[in-house]
Amino acid sequence: MTHQPRKRFGQHFLHDPAVVQRIVAAVAPQPGDHLVEIGPGEGAITFELLRAAGRLDAIELDRDLVAPLRARSAGLGELVLHSADALRFDFRPLAGAGGKLRLVGNLPYNISTPLLFHLLDQADCIRDMHFMLQKEVVERMAARPGGRDYGRLSVMLQARCTVTPLFTVGPGAFRPPPKVDSAVVRLAPLAQPPDIADPALFARLVAAAFAQRRKTLRNTLKDHLDAEAIAALGIDPGARAEVLALGDFVRLAAACKPHR
């Protein structure tokens, strides 16, 4: 299959067999796993997953790739192709009642963050996720408090998942090569996530806290909590968001008045 990569879809096709094998080994697919690949592209990962698990759902936005993928997968297993935009795709019906999905994908850089948030909204039907992303994004996802990479993405993901960076992939593994390094990361939804009564409020508070990183909580959270309320939680209102742990954000959100 030879397909001209399309910039508007953010396509960088993986072609390095060694990298493919490392990804498949990290996923460790077993017969009976309900695998779902986001953006199969030319099928580098797809066909290996099919050989291992026997069945795979794949979501592909580029309609020109659907027929070649279907043709080349013949005899490898059952490939169910969904010609759809993953950003708008409802994953729950794939899981069925009580089922859990295992998601895999070499994600386009230009949609990776909104797609991660879209998937977080459906984390109840997901067992784990193995994604190739821009290395910088993976560093932000896994960052701990106090570092420059720690921010909204870190907090929101870690509130729902265990984030485990696995390995880095250089530009030469792709066609065309991107201008940055990539990395593979494993996300496993938490069996017991923090008790967040109002997820929408929590999301707004975290976004506000990091909206102006150089400002203190006294200023960034003034529409949610005053300085006295922040201090009453044992949190310094003169601190910046980047030093707060996940539990601090959970407590701040719980202290917000419902009308706010």
Q: What is the pLDDT of residue 260?
A: 42
What's the pLDDT score for residue 11? 58
State the helix-helix crossing angle for 112-120 and 135-142, rounded to 10 degrees: 40
HSE-up (13 A, CA, CB side) for residue 16: 15
Could you check whether 7-189 and 199-255 share the same CATH topology?
Answer: no
| Structure-model confidence comparison of residues 175 and 232, the more confident one | 232
For residue 13, is pLDDT > 90? Answer: no
Tell me which residue has tokens 């485990």. Answer: 164
Q: Give the whole-angstrom CA distance, residue 35 versus residue 23.
A: 14
What average pLDDT does the structure give for the chain?
A: 91
- Decide if pLDDT at 5 tops 60: no
Between these two residues, 9 and 242, which has the higher pLDDT value? 242
Using the predicted structure, report yes or no on whether residue 48 has a pLDDT greater than 60: yes
Q: In the chain, where are the structural domains located?
A: 7-189, 199-255
Contacts of 27 (CB under 8 A, 6+ apart): 35, 49, 102, 104, 130
73: phi then psi, degrees, rounded to nearest 5: -85, -5
Instruction: Tell me what pLDDT residue 144 has.
Output: 97
Across 192-201, average pLDDT: 94
Question: Is the predicted pLDDT of residue 66 greater than 90, yes or no?
Answer: no
pLDDT for the residue 149: 96
Tell me the average pLDDT across 27-52: 92
Cβ atoms of 117 and 129 closer than 8 Å: no
Bigger pLDDT: 98 vs 132: 132
Residue 234 DSSP label = T
- 259: CB partners within 8 A, 6+ apart: none
Residue 50: which H helix or E strand, with range?
Answer: helix 46-53
- pLDDT of 2 reads 56
The pLDDT confidence band at residue 9, using thresholds 50, 70 and 90, is: very low
User: What region does 71 belong to: left with phi over 0, alpha with psi -120 to 50, or beta?
Assistant: alpha
CATH number of 7-189: 3.40.50.150
**Residue 172 CB neighbours (<10 A):** 11
% residues pLDDT > 70 (the chain): 95
8: confidence class by pLDDT, cuts 50, 70, 90: very low
Q: Give 208-230 pLDDT, tens digit per residue.
A: 999 998 999 999 999 999 999 99
With 80 as the cut, is the pLDDT of residue 182 above it?
A: yes
Domain topology for 199-255: Helicase, Ruva Protein; domain 3 (1.10.8)
Dist. CA 48–CA 73, nearest whole Å: 10
Least confident of 95-104, 131-140, 231-240, 250-259: 250-259
For 94-99, what is the mean pLDDT? 86
How confident is residue 4, by pLDDT bands cut at 50, 70 and 90? low
* For residues 32-58, average pLDDT: 93
